[in-house]
Amino acid sequence: MAAYLCRLHHIGLHVTNVDKIAYDLVAKFKFNLFAARLTEQSRQFAFRKGSAVFIVNERLNHPLHSLNGGVSSSQNSTSPQAQGLSEIYSHVFKVGDRSRNSDCRILYDVQRNYSVDTACNVCFEVKDVERSFRALRSQGCDFLVPPTNVEDDRGVVSYSVVKSIVGNVFHTLIDKTKYNGPFLPGFQEVENVTKNGARVEELSSCPITHFDHITYACPRKSTPDVMRWYEKHFGFQRFFIERNEDVNEGFVLDEEGIGLRLTAMEYWKCSESGVKLPFEDKKEPDCKFVIAESLPDQGRNQVDTFLEEHRGAGIQHVGLYTEDIVSTARSLSQAGVQFFSPPPAYYTEVGKQQEIVDAGHDPRLLSQQGILLDTDLRQDASDSLCHLTTPENKRYLLQVFTKPIFAEDTFFLELIERRGASGFGEGNIRALWRSVQAYMESEREKARTQSPENMTVQSGKS
């Protein structure tokens, strides 16, 4: 292994219009905008919920802005969404005098123009950036940013950015051990207070605590190379989604229109060097990585759609862990988040209904939010009670998936609540797959009927 990863620090998004995604993260997903960095050429906003942090990067000279009449989105903040956001954070838009920020680089990330909005940076804390850089480079890794220091009066942070083997995914490796400021040098804190003086945090009650997993959509047959890359460079280890999963094949769902191969991996947080993490008793929540590939025989599917619309492999979705999925999904959907729902029959199937009731849930409440429930059939050897089938010692997994959050059919978020289950529910994946397939088909049908060709035909008929 070349780099010892201590923990996931943040996930970076690159977008052409930060207002829209900022509005969605704050007003709909209940994240707090807590830090911002504005320069004449870029805006970087940081959003937090529990320990889950997104940094959204926007470059103001992106070619798409010129397509919109040469007006950058930040100058054109009159959209209802931008107005809504500035209502909440009236003071953010005054943060720092942009012209004072002479360093116009995007910090802690790469400076790239993507043709579509994308989630493409997974930033890890490491203990020694220079050492990780040298070790990874000697193993042949490509670096987009060499070790770089950024400092302010609270200390210094070093980072570098390495290209991964997956599409446009980069990893910022960051060392904050010599920094005692609230976030990162160069960012200014944003006070979470509304115009009426209420704390923004108090406005939300959904207990999202951390990133549970990150799923990559990858081309067919690329999984072994991706696995090897993460094992060799970051010491990731295989995580078996299912007890009987084949080491080489991964977890395969190949049936009636579902063609999916999933392989999961996890990393060891500074474990080699015996570093103690600040979570002495409580194990720090870890974030798994899932590689999703589509299989050839079951027709076009959501992984293929991602690869096409994203123009290559990348982060397909991020799972947000919540301690109460029912209240979180309710609160988010009331705020306007759109979730995929399985067919209503899912909740009335005899076996499923009983499974939900056994898990202590009300099928009606789950169906209102489209929440899927699966019983984990994996049991540890240490699970002495595993032969008993009482509801108390079964493990459950609850999940609900949002519709894509960018304009393209690409990146989405997921809410996940684990009741002892550590894998990914096979039944949930099936149900999700079907609901996404149905959505994609209806979108395609909509696009087909709205195409100018069809309009002519329709108007000709009437």
Ligand X SMILES: O=C(O)C(=O)Cc1ccc(O)cc1
Residues in contact with ligand X by CB under 6 A are: 213, 215, 262, 290, 292, 302-303, 319, 414, 424, 429, 432
Nearest to ligand X of 88, 329 (CB atom): 329
**Do the annotations mark residue 213 as ligand-binding?**
yes
Nearest to ligand X of 72, 215 (CB atom): 215
In sequence order, the 6+-apart residues with CB closer than 8 A to the CB of 219 are 293, 307, 313
Give CA separation, 228 vs 162, 164, 166, 222, 423, in Å: 16, 12, 12, 10, 21
Q: Where are the alpha helices (DSSP H) in 314-451?
A: 325-334, 345-348, 350-358, 363-369, 426-450
**Do the annotations mark residue 189 as ligand-binding?**
no
Nearest to ligand X of 216, 347 (CB atom): 216
State in angstroms the smallest separation of the CB of 142 from ligand X: 27
State in angstroms the smallest separation of the CB of 93 from ligand X: 35
Look up residue 60 and give its two tokens: 């103001």
**Do the annotations mark residue 361 as ligand-binding?**
no
Q: How far apart are CA 171 and CA 233, in angstroms?
A: 12
State in angstroms the smallest separation of the CB of 418 from ligand X: 11
Q: How far apart are CA 302 and CA 256, in angstroms?
A: 15
Contact 318, 10 (CB under 8 A): no
Nearest to ligand X of 86, 302 (CB atom): 302
In sequence order, the 6+-apart residues with CB closer than 8 A to the CB of 223 are 250, 261, 263, 291, 293
What type of residue sits at position 132?
S
* Cα 388 off chain centre by: 36
Contact 13, 410 (CB under 8 A): no
State in angstroms the smallest separation of the CB of 311 from ligand X: 18
Nearest to ligand X of 120, 429 (CB atom): 429
State in angstroms the smallest separation of the CB of 271 from ligand X: 24
Nearest to ligand X of 188, 209 (CB atom): 209
State in angstroms the smallest separation of the CB of 302 from ligand X: 5
Give CA separation, 449 vs 440, 442, 452, 454, 458, in Å: 14, 10, 8, 6, 9
Point out the annotated binding site for Fe cation. Answer: 213, 317, 414
